[in-house]
Every structure is written in C-alpha cells, then in structure tokens.
Amino acid sequence: MDDAQNWHEITLTAERVEALRKRADQHKYDHGHAVVLSGGAGRTGAARLAGRAALRIGTGLVTLGVPGSAQMEVACQETAIMLRRVDDPLALESLLADDRLNAFCIGPGFGVGERCRACVALICGANRSVVLDADVLTSFSDDPEALFALVWNRPVVMTPHKGEFRRLFPDLAGADPRVACRKAAMRAGCTILLKGSETSVADADGGLGVHNPDGKRAAPYLATAGSGDVLAGMICGLLARGFVPVAAAETAAWLHAEAGRRIGAGLIAEDLPEALPAIFAEIGL
C-alpha cells in the first residue's frame, strides 16, 4: 500500500484521554515500570530527559539503567527516578528477568556499536515493548536487515529523525515522508514514527497517521537538542502504561507537540515534560 491519500490525522481521541486517566483504586504497579538505558559518564543527559518524560506521562515507576562510570552523575540529578547499574548485556539480562519492567527505551545518548546492538537483541528477544531511537538506529546503519529481523512483529516503536531514517532506509529517503514512513514500517515489521515539522506514524500493516498535516499545529521551537529524547521517553512511558505501539506513538506525538506549542519561543527540552500537568488538567484528567 503506497497510496499517499490514505491516512488519518493524529488527534487526541476521547478513548486515549481515558487511557491516560489514573483511577482511584489503582497503585503504581498498575501504571507500568519503564526502563531507560543510559550512556556512560558525561553522556547521560538524553536518557535523563527520556526518563523524566516517561515519569511525567504517568508511568508508575521509572528506572534508569546506568553504567557504573555514570552512577554518581545520575544519582546527583534524579530523585523520583530510580537507578540500576547496567554495565553490559549480562546486567541487562538480569533486569529482563523481572517481568514487571514492561517497557524499555534505548538509544538516546547510549553510544553506537556492538554493546548497543547486543542490548537491542536481548530486549527484542524478550518480547518487551521498546522504543528504539537515536544511537540504536545509527548502530544498525551498516546492516539494517539485522535490525529488521530483531523487531519484526514485535511491540517496537522506532523513532528516526530524517538523518537516521536515511541511514536505515536509504532508498526511501528521497520519497514523500508519509509514503516513506509507511513503506519503512511495512519493511521493518514494526511501528515507525518519522520526526519532522510534520510527524508520521506508520504500522506494519500499512496504517498511517499524520500529525500537523495542514500546519495548524506547528511547533517550530521543538527544533532544539533533546526534544526527540523527550518524545522517546513519552512513548516508552505510554507503552509501560499499556498503550499498544501505534497508540503510544500517536498519543505522545500529539502531547509532545502540544507542549511545544504552549511553551513556544525559548523552549528547551527540559521544559517539555513539565508542561504535561497543565495539558492533562485541560483535557480533564
């Protein structure tokens, strides 16, 4: 399916608003436990942004998986977010043994290379919901088929910007972004969110949602370092809360843009998670 006209506009539906609500009889484990894997010392900012976003979007618990070299750096910055030492794939395996840790985010600031590829293989092999962003996408640029074999038919959301998209799907990079996103999702066999001033979300069956198709929800101040890391954390948080991949990606895209629109000029990535409580109040949560 490559019909450029066959798509829906991404909005915040009533059903998704209800799914964001916390009921009085629920406790934190009812809202999931998200894990964001961090890079080493001096490279933890992106994962911390993602973790903060996952917490603000309502995940019950958020843990940052951090190499020993960066533990003090992260511990000095975080309070509500928990910390586990994860130096290597072996340590990740022990985290994966606890099935209460139900959604993962890997890529932001993680570092490119074999350690990254091995961790992605473990998470996907355990069939965990996961957001694959940034350095994960770059780590597989020499062998995209190896990544597609890992994610095929799994609860995965990939979140490339156009540079990362080109590395994984060089033959699609010149096409209309909506068509390219749909073809990429069908090729990879998972949900893909293609970032930009217009954001597309496609699933493996050919479904396609477009955010801001007419430019009326423009949020140009989102073009700032770390804003994509926050989006990855929002999606991960919604996966932990039980949203299916497409719903998590679309809902996060809408909320992320709404936060960007409200903050406007002067926005920095740290502001985005902090804008969520006011948005939630306004939509009736």
Ligand X SMILES: NC(=O)C1=CN([C@@H]2O[C@H](COP(=O)(O)OP(=O)(O)OC[C@H]3O[C@@H](n4cnc5c(N)ncnc54)[C@H](O)[C@@H]3O)[C@@H](O)[C@H]2O)[C@@H](O)CC1
Restricted to residues 183-212, the positions that interact with ligand ADP (CB under 6 A) are 195-197, 199
Task: Return the residue matching tokens 């533990």.
Answer: 71
| 196 carries a ligand binding annotation | yes
108: closest CA among 129, 131, 86? 131
CB of 165 to ligand X, least distance (A): 8
As a residue count, the chain comes to 285
44 binding ligand ADP? (CB under 6 A): no
Tokens coding 254: 């809408």
232: closest CA among 31, 29, 49? 49
CA distance 196 to 157: 16
Q: 52 or 256, CB closer to ligand ADP?
A: 256
| 51 carries a ligand binding annotation | no
255 and 279 in contact (C-beta within 8 Å)? yes
CA distance 233 to 56: 9
Tokens coding 212: 């801001």
Q: Where are the beta strands (DSSP E) in the chain?
A: 8-9, 33-37, 61-66, 82-85, 101-106, 129-132, 156-158, 191-194, 199-202, 208-211
Restricted to residues 214-243, the positions that interact with ligand ADP (CB under 6 A) are 219-220, 222-223, 225-229, 231
CA distance 202 to 9: 12
51 binding ligand X? (CB under 6 A): no
233 binding ligand X? (CB under 6 A): no
Which neighbouring-strand residues pair with 208?
202
CA 187 to mean position of chain CA atoms = 20
45 binds, among ligand ADP, ligand X, none (CB under 5 to 8 A by kind): ligand X
| 197 carries a ligand binding annotation | yes
Q: 225 or 278, CB closer to ligand X?
A: 225
Q: 60 or 107, CB closer to ligand X?
A: 107
Q: Which of 67, 226, 237, 245 binds ligand X (CB under 6 A)?
A: 226
Write each residue from 128 to 157 as x if it is in contact with ligand X (CB under 6 A), else as -, in one continuous string. ------xx--x-------------------
Q: Which of 84, 115, 117, 161 binds ligand X (CB under 6 A)?
A: 161
Give the residue numbers of the binding site for (6S)-NADPHX: 46, 109, 161, 229
Binding site for ligand X (CB under 6 A): 45-46, 108-109, 134-135, 138, 161-164, 225-226, 228-229
Give the residue numbers of the binding site for AMP: 195-199, 228
Binding site for ligand ADP (CB under 6 A): 134, 161, 195-197, 199, 219-220, 222-223, 225-229, 231, 256
